[in-house]
Structure 1
């Protein structure tokens, strides 16, 4: 079943170090929802956190950690975390179109992560059917009462829907959250957070 995603996404970009370190230490990049929820290394006030760093498994990959928690400041638990998705994407200009996006969501009782694509014109995300998943390696996922989390490695250089991606160049990092309805990733329902116009390379 194809997933059609209409997603407005949160924007930022970073030069990163180890994902095992705290936010802000040695260049580890973090961004979250709601606005300004991250205070130094403290992400306890966030419903959604995206952390990006070079992968410890390969110098040619970026490590991405996506997490969503229920009953935070934005009441992500209404609906339940199992009825939501969180996402992080990569944009050359800080805008949604023409962006590769990594999603984390529940499917058949498990947390799963997939690579998707925002088309060049408009704000439509085509979902993961038809998108090459080989650049994405799932490290671990979890889904329980404490929330949903996906940790993945994404190759720095790959092609998505015919468009070359090179994360060693300047990119913005994009993320958002929205409801999961009838097996479809619906449009975000919270205002995105953005660090644009700042951009970084990986």
Structure 2
């Protein structure tokens, strides 16, 4: 076997590279596929290196942020992935969501026509990610339609609803006159 050469050139990755290259692709759950896609989209996969036939990377943990990143590794062949490894608990089987995230990352590089693996950008080299408005996700509604309740289906209390009669007319308040205890108004 020839010595692995250090090259971040993506020419050795097939154009149709996808999750179907895994030998156990039919055993991957929809949840793992969605989580892997999220790892790719949110930038959890980093330090991707390619020493053909091995691709290695790291993935930030999604729950315990203080833990060290998971180590990922893929051994490639022409039309399949021979071996997949992740340092997480489910990674020995080669079908964890971190592996899916690495495959989606490589797919993304190919789809965006990168010739080689881009270097990781530092946070100061990218646009700021905080304090960005989320858009109009919560639409305004009249107060009579607001329901205050816990988000779960198994509630112990009934939801609080507005009981305002929107057709009720408030009495007119006249600020220019004062009233006495008999209810008669006198000019100010």
Normalising by the residue count of structure 2, what TM-score does the alignment of the two structures yield? 0.26
The answer to which structure has the higher strand fraction is 1
Q: Which one scores higher on RCO, CA 8 angstroms, separation ≥ 6?
A: 1
Higher radius of gyration, 1 or 2: 2
Normalising by the residue count of structure 1, what TM-score does the alignment of the two structures yield? 0.24
The answer to which structure has the higher helix fraction is 2
